[in-house]
Amino acid sequence: MSQALDTPPQSTPLAAPVVPPEGDLSAYAVRHGLSVSGARPSLPTYVRQLWARRHFITAFATAKLTAQYSQAKLGQVWQVMTPLLNAAVYYFIFGVLLGTKHGVPDYIPFLVTGVFIWTFTQSSIMAGTRAIAGNLGLVRALHFPRAALPISFCIQQLQQLLFSMAALIVILLCFGIPVTASWLLVIPALALQFVFNAGVSMIMARMGASTPDIAQLMPFILRTWMYVSGVMWSIDKLAKKDNLPHVVSVLLETNPAAIYIDLMRFALIDSFHSSQLPPHVWPIAAGWALVVGVGGFIYFWKAEETYGRG
């Protein structure tokens, strides 16, 4: 199968090819049952491959999480310190300087819950945007379903959130919030939020893989999203004002980030009543998770064979 070229060495006495695959090579390959290398697997196969790599996904997430603070003197203490410092900054600005707390009982638990839950969504999306573009070395060296990367980053953020939740529980107890059965609602709320986050991450991972510039844009979009999601103020108070157009208040209330934040407040803080939640809150929360989770997965899979292209 040797061929002539434009800049050959002085002499190229071509050795006879070891193999004589005369005629159409493609037909020859198909006849022997070979498959195209690097082709996109079918959706069920893809799900199966992903499931087979579940141990890699969790191990990669945990490894990233531990590697994060391994050079710091305080080490893993930062897992809890970082979210606490974050909450302190927001309290200083919105609670003390701007006085947003007016009319919100238990403002500090309210704020800290909002900050932690929002941070989970925000960091998942940010990490998802860079999941493929920032790990091209891995994508180009090893073969695995690429969805493992954005999902793994979301699991890392979930683990991070569990550290934050431990800090949150201490804060709640310090402020005299009673432990009630409604705390159990944390589990379904977090599960739904995780599926939603993973869906958005996969959508952003595909977009970030083809247009890395998006990673520069995301902080601005996310900050805007944060301010309309009621992280440091009560949506319910604003949405019930009469001067607000109906469309705007519906949009504010069905915003998935706001839904997950308020569900968590409802679960944890006794002074946050169900009347403050928008109507049909659980179906909306599940709907967002389902639509974005499944939709994001399919959208990501559609471009599976293009990730890592030069």
Partner 1 sequence: MAENENENLNQNPGLNQGGTPGEPIPTVVADHVDIVYRVNGTGAGRGTATAALNRMMRRKQSEKAAGVRKVHAVKSVSFVAYRGEAIGLIGTNGSGKSTLLKAVAGLLPVEHGHIYTDGQPSLLGVNAALMGDLTGERNVYLGGLAMGMSREQIKERYQGIVDFSGINEKGDFITLPMRTYSSGMGARLRFSIAAAKDHDVLLIDEALATGDRSFQMRSEERIRELRQHAGTVFLVSHNNKSIRDTCDRVLWLERGELLMDGPTDDVLKEYEAFTNRPAKAAPKAA
Residue identified by tokens 């037909």 is 27
Q: How far is the CB of 30 from partner 1 (least distance, A)?
A: 7
> Which stretch, 28-36, 75-83, 201-209, 276-284, contacts partner 1 (CB under 8 A)?
28-36
Q: How far apart are CA 259 and CA 292, in angstroms?
A: 14
What are the phi and psi torsion angles at 42 (to 5°)? -65, 160
Identify the burial level of 299 via C-beta atoms within 10 angstroms of its C-beta, where 0-12 means exposed, 13-18 middle and 19 or more buried: middle
DSSP class of residue 132? T
> Which stretch, 108-116, 140-148, 222-230, 264-272, contacts partner 1 (CB under 8 A)?
140-148
Size of the site for partner 1 (CB under 8 A): 57
Q: Is 143 in the site for partner 1 (CB under 8 A)?
A: yes
For 123, the enclosing helix (H) or strand (E) is: helix 107-129
Q: How far is the CB of 308 from partner 1 (least distance, A)?
A: 6
Q: How far is the CB of 137 from partner 1 (least distance, A)?
A: 4
Task: Report which of 94, 88, 81 is spatially closest to residue 227, judged by C-alpha positions.
Answer: 94
Task: Report which of 85, 77, 154, 156 is spatially closest to residue 116, judged by C-alpha positions.
Answer: 85
Q: How far apart are CA 164 and CA 112, in angstroms?
A: 10
- Give the nearer residue to partner 1 in terms of CB position, either 95 or 150: 150
Q: Is 216 in the site for partner 1 (CB under 8 A)?
A: no
Q: How far is the CB of 76 from partner 1 (least distance, A)?
A: 12
> Which stretch, 155-163, 241-249, 260-268, 301-309, contacts partner 1 (CB under 8 A)?
301-309
Cβ atoms of 145 and 304 within 8 Å: the answer is: yes
Q: How far is the CB of 228 from partner 1 (least distance, A)?
A: 29
Q: How far apart are CA 227 and CA 193, in angstroms?
A: 19
Q: Is 254 in the site for partner 1 (CB under 8 A)?
A: no
Residues 58-97 that bind partner 1 (CB under 8 A): 59-60, 63-64, 66-67, 70-71
Residue type, 214: I
Q: How far is the CB of 123 from partner 1 (least distance, A)?
A: 19
Binding site residues, partner 1, CB under 8 A: 1-3, 5, 7-19, 21, 25-26, 28-30, 32-39, 52-53, 55-56, 59-60, 63-64, 66-67, 70-71, 135, 137-144, 305-306, 308-310
